[in-house]
């Protein structure tokens, strides 16, 4: 278990979660009063995983291209929530609950929903309120959606950007109203987004059947349950006639009967197996993937569940068997490295993680895991390498507190306490712990020569107008 993890917020302090966070690095939210959805969820509000993010990017890229949005560099954010939801809060990010991935049995079902959401984006259905979010930190948006009003309220006071208005709205409006104004659309906009979604799917030679299947399921669901319906249904009204109109339109597409590419279906199944293994109860995992199931996704789920809940030796044997089947799959090496790292064998984790990085073309989140293994191996010979790998990874993934925490440890080992304090301050800042961030940054300032780049960065944190979590 990684020592750094024990200092993380209460919500992710449990042992099994420390393992999860090494893979799915947290953008931790430290607010204690999280409402229903967040309380149900375990762990940090945002899940980070290279394999899942890559799949979602591959799903959205062609859609965004035909929608004329490819240049916007839209980021995929996976929310730690088992209910079905996918939404665009602004023009910068598409949010997807992991529940939406789990509940979509085919890529086409999820792609259909993403196409519909892109329809909202391309149609300019985002209110002014939402557009202001583009300048807001991801974790602040999620805090607001989850109803953690304190963060948003604080931003209203300190806000030097668009966050201020959002914060103000979040305080004055009851949570549910704030959430609705963020997520809900008018009936006409829904129909337009359906039409745009079908158009994007047809232009990319994909079927709109999955979109129809998902929406049809929600229509049936909302007929039978007034309460407890997925948040997606609450924010996207789905009267039967709308879904009927969608079916009629979708069936005119020459691609209506087109099936997902088997390779893409396999990637989808692998990601669902991984999410199940990491996020669901052990008995649920084995109910979804019984031992008698010898498919690759089932074996992936078994290997991860064994490393999380069983013994390392058996897990490694299972992972090695997976590597034999797909020797070029970076994520099998990643999970091997992670299992070793979390199992207390950081030095042995280094080789598989190097291979994972090579095969994934330098995925920054895996580089951070390697940085962690290098630091944890307690071998001074690795210190410089850890620093350069972590810095390179953070340059591409600047919102990852775990990377900064590892960087702080590496600098500490080197005896560079100015850089160590600065990196710790950056980690605290990203976690939303601004009091600690300011204290560490103030101390870092005293260690740097005035006006040097490190001093300037530390000064930025000290003077940032950001809210404290406890006010
Ligand atoms: Zn919609």
Q: How far apart are CA 340 and CA 104, in angstroms?
A: 32
Query: Between residues 462 and 44, which one has the greater pLDDT?
Result: 462
Q: Give the angle subtended at the CA of 146 by the CAs of 145 and 148, to the nearest 5°.
A: 105
Residue 321: CB atoms within 10 Å: 12
Q: Residue 139's pLDDT is what?
A: 66
| Dmax (CA) of the chain | 68
- The share of the chain scoring above pLDDT 70, in percent, equals 75
Distance (angstroms) between ligand 1 centre and the Cα of 116 equals 6
Per-position b or e across 385-415, b if 16+ CB within 10 A of its CB: ebbebbbebbeebebbbbbbbbbbbbbbbee
Cβ proximity of 347 and 381 under 8 Å: no
Give the model's confidence band at 34: pLDDT under 50 very low, under 70 low, under 90 confident, else very high. very low
What Cα–Cα distance (Å) separates residue 300 from each residue in 79, 319, 335?
22, 8, 10
Q: Residue 68's pLDDT is what?
A: 92
pLDDT digit string, tens, across residues 356-397: 999 999 999 999 999 999 999 999 999 999 999 999 999 999
Instruction: Estimate the crossing angle of helix 330-342 against helix 296-309, to 10 degrees.
Output: 10
Q: Give the angle subtended at the CA of 257 by the CAs of 256 and 259, to the nearest 5°.
A: 115
Q: Is the pLDDT of residue 4 over 70?
A: no
Q: What is the dihedral of CA 43, 113, 259, 328, to 10 degrees?
A: -40
Query: Between residues 188 and 207, which one has the greater pLDDT?
Result: 207
Distance (angstroms) between ligand 1 centre and the Cα of 266 equals 28
Distance (angstroms) between ligand 1 centre and the Cα of 74 equals 18
Cα dihedral sign, 387-371-45-363? positive
Distance (angstroms) between ligand 1 centre and the Cα of 215 equals 10
- The share of the chain scoring above pLDDT 90, in percent, equals 59
Q: How far apart are CA 212 and CA 222, in angstroms?
A: 15
Distance (angstroms) between ligand 1 centre and the Cα of 295 equals 35
Q: How far apart are CA 369 and CA 349, in angstroms?
A: 9
What is the total residue count of the chain? 471
Distance (angstroms) between ligand 1 centre and the Cα of 68 equals 19
pLDDT average, residue stretch 12-34: 32
Cβ proximity of 430 and 452 under 8 Å: no
Cβ proximity of 132 and 119 under 8 Å: no
Q: Residue 299's pLDDT is what?
A: 98
Q: What are phi and psi of 75, to 5 degrees?
A: -95, 145
pLDDT digit string, tens, across residues 226-284: 555 667 776 676 778 888 889 999 999 999 999 999 999 999 999 999 999 999 999 99
Q: What are phi and psi of 339, to 5 degrees?
A: -60, -45
**159's tokens:** 């806000």
Where on the phi/psi map is residue 427: left (φ > 0), alpha (ψ -120 to 50), or beta?
alpha
Q: Residue 269's pLDDT is what?
A: 98
pLDDT digit string, tens, across residues 299-310: 999 999 999 998
User: Which of 155, 133, 148, 171 lies closest to 28 in space, CA to CA?
Assistant: 148
User: Which of 433, 377, 435, 434 lies closest to 406 in space, CA to CA?
Assistant: 377
Distance (angstroms) between ligand 1 centre and the Cα of 52 equals 23
Q: List the beta strands (DSSP E) in 19-177.
A: 46-47, 75-79, 86-88, 93-97
Q: What is the DSSP letter of 92?
A: S
Residue 369: CB atoms within 10 Å: 27
Which positions ≥6 away from 195 have C-beta within 8 Å? 119, 249
pLDDT average, residue stretch 20-41: 32
Distance (angstroms) between ligand 1 centre and the Cα of 87 equals 8
What is the pTM assigned to this prediction? 0.82
What Cα–Cα distance (Å) separates residue 321 from each residue in 26, 160, 315, 317?
29, 53, 10, 6
Q: Is the pLDDT of residue 133 over 90?
A: no
**38's tokens:** 């967040």
Distance (angstroms) between ligand 1 centre and the Cα of 392 equals 38
Q: What is the DSSP letter of 260?
A: P
Q: Residue 384's pLDDT is what?
A: 96
Distance (angstroms) between ligand 1 centre and the Cα of 166 equals 21
Least confident of 3-17, 85-99, 133-147: 3-17
Query: Between residues 234 and 50, which one has the greater pLDDT?
Result: 50
Least confident of 18-22, 140-144, 217-221, 232-236: 18-22
Q: What are phi and psi of 78, to 5 degrees?
A: -100, 120
User: Which of 329, 395, 343 lies closest to 373 in space, CA to CA?
Assistant: 343
What Cα–Cα distance (Å) separates residue 88 from each residue in 85, 169, 183, 237?
10, 19, 8, 16
pLDDT digit string, tens, across residues 418-439: 999 999 999 998 887 889 999 9
């Amino acid at each position: 278990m990684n020592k750094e993890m024990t200092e993380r917020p209460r919500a992710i302090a449990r042992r099994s979660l420390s393992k999860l966070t090494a893979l799915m690095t947290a953008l931790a939210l430290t607010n204690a009063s999280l409402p229903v959805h967040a309380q149900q969820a375990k762990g940090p509000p945002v899940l980070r995983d290279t394999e899942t993010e890559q799949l979602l990017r591959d799903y959205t890229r062609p859609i965004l291209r035909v929608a004329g949005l490819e240049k916007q560099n839209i980021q995929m954010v996976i929310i730690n929530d088992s209910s079905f939801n996918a939404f665009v809060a602004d023009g910068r990010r598409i949010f997807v609950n992991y529940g939406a991935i789990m509940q979509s049995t085919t890529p086409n079902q999820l792609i259909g929903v993403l196409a519909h959401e892109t329809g909202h984006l391309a149609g300019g259905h985002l209110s002014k309120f939402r557009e202001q979010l583009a300048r807001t930190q991801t974790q602040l948006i999620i805090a607001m959606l989850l109803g953690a009003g304190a963060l948003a309220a604080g931003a209203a006071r300190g806000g030097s950007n668009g966050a201020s208005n959002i914060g103000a709205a979040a305080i004055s409006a009851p949570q549910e109203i704030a959430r609705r104004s963020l997520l809900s659309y008018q009936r006409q906009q829904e129909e337009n987004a359906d039409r745009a979604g079908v158009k994007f799917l047809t232009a990319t030679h994909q079927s709109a059947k999955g979109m129809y299947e998902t929406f049809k399921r929600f229509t049936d669901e909302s007929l039978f349950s007034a309460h407890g319906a997925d948040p997606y249904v609450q924010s996207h009204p789905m009267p039967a006639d709308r879904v009927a109109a969608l079916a009629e339109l979708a069936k005119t597409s020459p691609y209506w009967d087109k099936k997902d590419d088997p390779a893409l279906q396999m990637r989808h199944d692998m990601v669902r197996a991984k999410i199940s293994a990491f996020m669901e109860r052990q008995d649920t995992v084995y109910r979804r993937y019984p031992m008698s199931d010898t498919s690759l996704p089932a074996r992936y789920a078994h290997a991860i569940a064994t490393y999380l809940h069983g013994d390392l030796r058996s897990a490694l044997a299972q992972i090695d068997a997976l590597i034999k089947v797909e020797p070029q799959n970076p994520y099998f090496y990643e999970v091997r490295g992670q299992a070793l790292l979390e199992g207390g064998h950081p030095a042995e984790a280094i080789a598989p993680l190097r291979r994972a990085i090579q095969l994934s073309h330098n995925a920054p989140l895996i580089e951070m895991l390697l940085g962690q293994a290098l630091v944890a191996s307690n071998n001074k010979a690795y210190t410089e390498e850890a620093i350069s790998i972590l810095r390179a990874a953070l340059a591409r993934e600047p919102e990852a507190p775990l990377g900064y925490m590892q960087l702080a440890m590496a600098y500490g080992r080197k005896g560079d306490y100015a850089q160590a304090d600065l990196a710790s301050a950056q980690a605290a800042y990203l976690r939303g712990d601004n009091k600690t961030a300011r204290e560490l940054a103030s101390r870092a300032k005293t260690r740097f020569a005035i006006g040097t780049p490190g001093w300037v960065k530390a000064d930025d944190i000290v003077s940032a107008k950001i809210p404290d979590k406890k006010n």
